[in-house]
Structure 1
């Protein structure tokens, strides 16, 4: 069916168009602006904003489901559906440190989901287990390990979609990052105690991202730049930011954004099962995690992921970081798309792009979402 979204304030990714029309045919944007609407099913957005759909590369759970606990296609579907109501039209469900068998099951389930065309699922993020125990955060220490001899064959086994791996570069053998990248895997540094020189070696092999900048990594110091210094100093790498007001002080985030190459900061949620769920707790590695005042914490107050969605991250970027709405939206859509190598398909509202879109009201609250032209609410799956 050919669809026309009319009377919208459209953010193309570069500029705003008032009272604009976006036409969609077979899931692809046909035109932006005035056009003949005969033969189109019209939808009046009543002046609301229409923006590129959000892309989240770090989603541990949602809708009461933790990917580690339900590494199957039903779990993936539940997580994606929970985040869709908050404007996430593309995501990488994220498996945190776990047993080898769970990793294998998760990758197999992701392959099934991609083959089945599950809406909004772009691939998988393996956050661990190849981390540094010194910066483990809430990850289970007895499952953190060095890469096994056959680890590369497991990590690269998805064969379609996107695979992102977070590892501690100082724990990876020489050449491992290069081999992963050569096989199409995106490699990020995280949960790392590495020194500046460790990251220079990793950059030379293809390291391209830092997972949740500042959190669970060596800090910027006067004589040792650490992971944070390496990330901000390197012009080509990307950084994920958790903008919830808890993980990182807003002043630190503002300073980092000013220091980093423009266009290289990504909003991520690090979301846990409480997002899109009525429950205020879940279990992780056998311990209860509570959602309290917008954060996920253990009984002892340790942060354990986030109770954050992408729409809230955009609002927080405007209110806490003093960013423009334009840049906040790009950090939620265009920049993640470019990081994933999908910048020619997602992140803009232009002719030829996938019609993955979000309708926002003036308070930056999600009213509706479309994935590849499919009205998710109308189909009863939001």
Structure 2
């Protein structure tokens, strides 16, 4: 399949180009040149009608979508259903995310991810295992019955994925720190989350290879005047990544503004922490036998504990622009280039340039989506 995209503003990830044509062949971008296609061009011409073409979004934390919870359907088909539910919102690639569960379920999630990638389910970049190596004092909606310390014996299980990247969320104070180094040496990304660690414990974990923080501020020790906590260590560190849930519920907008200003530029990554309600007619589901309901974009238990989110990625991007006063280009980068760099797939995703995956979306000035393409195929 050959396509040429014309009559639009193309945001490459670095700059906005006007008067250019984007050419795609198959699943890749073949060229980006000034001017219109030659009269003898034999592919499909797509008129963007003056709108913006921007890099597709990558979500590092997707628990579910389209009525499917990954914990309940650890199969390639379940992953594909979740992926398709998020595509209309601009997410072209993701890490399906397993909430704390049994070791058998972890193995099944890893196998399902490998199966999905082998079956060419577009946009599956690996798996995120959020727990069960967490601290009960910051458990959130996770079931502490599954919790355990992260020890050497778990390294083979957590590094068993054959294709893509594995991201593990853990509590450093519940771990043998040397295990972090062992995992990173095997290519696993290790993030801190659901943790009661203090500043020194977090710094020690960073020295062992901890490279990020799952949903910054939520379920971790806050920054205080004399104890910087996990949040202080995260904002101070120049190399680690921070996931942000910008839904108006998880973190105050003022707090988010301060954090973005404090953190090294390029290290803040938008995540949705999405639950099955995203892209589904039903706004309720069950997690660990407990009914979760999404109302006005907020997922919570009957006791009003936050349980993931009903957030989609284009809404997160719009929220950054409207609530946090971010430039739209930077908001797009937080959802595309930066997560691509985090996963090490920045030569395939996160920018619009020759050789990259033809995975992008068309938006107007208000960031309303009018088309989404994943690996050259229009999906919405």
- Return the TM-score normalized by structure 2: 0.97
Q: Distance in 1 between matches of 2:84 and 2:177?
A: 40
SS at match of 2:177: coil
**Of residues 204, 211, 215 in structure 2, which corresponds to 1:208?**
211
Superposition pairs for residues 1-382 of structure 1, below 5 Å?
1-34=1-34, 36-37=37-38, 38-147=41-150, 150-377=153-380
Give how far 1:148 is off: 5.3
Residues 209-237 of structure 1, C-alpha deviations (whole Å, 9 max, x = no match)? 10000000000011110000000000111
Q: Distance in 1 between matches of 2:262 and 2:20?
A: 36
Residues 22-53 of structure 1, C-alpha deviations (whole Å, 9 max, x = no match)? 10113211222326441221111111110000
SS at match of 1:29: strand
Give how far 1:149 is off: 5.0
Residues 237-268 of structure 1, C-alpha deviations (whole Å, 9 max, x = no match)? 11000000000000000000000001100000
Residues 118-148 of structure 1, C-alpha deviations (whole Å, 9 max, x = no match)? 0111110000000111111110011111135
Runs of 4+ in 1 over 4 A off after TM superposition: none
RMSD: 1.1
Bigger mean CA deviation after superposition, 76-85 or 367-376: 367-376
Q: Distance in 2 between matches of 1:359 and 1:313?
A: 16
Give how far 1:20 is off: 2.7
SS at match of 1:175: helix
Unmatched runs of 5 consecutive residues or more in structure 1:
378-382
Residues 55-92 of structure 1, C-alpha deviations (whole Å, 9 max, x = no match)? 00000000000000111111101100000010000100
- Return the TM-score normalized by structure 1: 0.97
Confirm or deny: 8 A CA contact 2:88 2:379 kept in the other structure: no
Residues 283-322 of structure 1, C-alpha deviations (whole Å, 9 max, x = no match)? 0100100111110011111100000000000000001111
Confirm or deny: 8 A CA contact 1:318 1:328 kept in the other structure: yes
Confirm or deny: 8 A CA contact 2:189 2:211 kept in the other structure: yes
Unmatched runs of 5 consecutive residues or more in structure 2:
none
Confirm or deny: 8 A CA contact 2:67 2:279 kept in the other structure: yes
Q: Distance in 2 between matches of 1:370 and 1:25?
A: 13
Bigger mean CA deviation after superposition, 346-355 or 311-320: 346-355
SS at match of 2:204: helix
Give how far 1:18 is off: 2.2
Confirm or deny: 8 A CA contact 1:97 1:143 kept in the other structure: yes
Residues 192-217 of structure 1, C-alpha deviations (whole Å, 9 max, x = no match)? 10011111111111111100000000
Q: Distance in 1 between matches of 2:342 and 2:290?
A: 34
SS at match of 1:303: coil
Alignment correspondent of 1:380: none
SS at match of 2:294: strand
Give how far 1:280 is off: 1.2
Aligned residues between the structures: 377
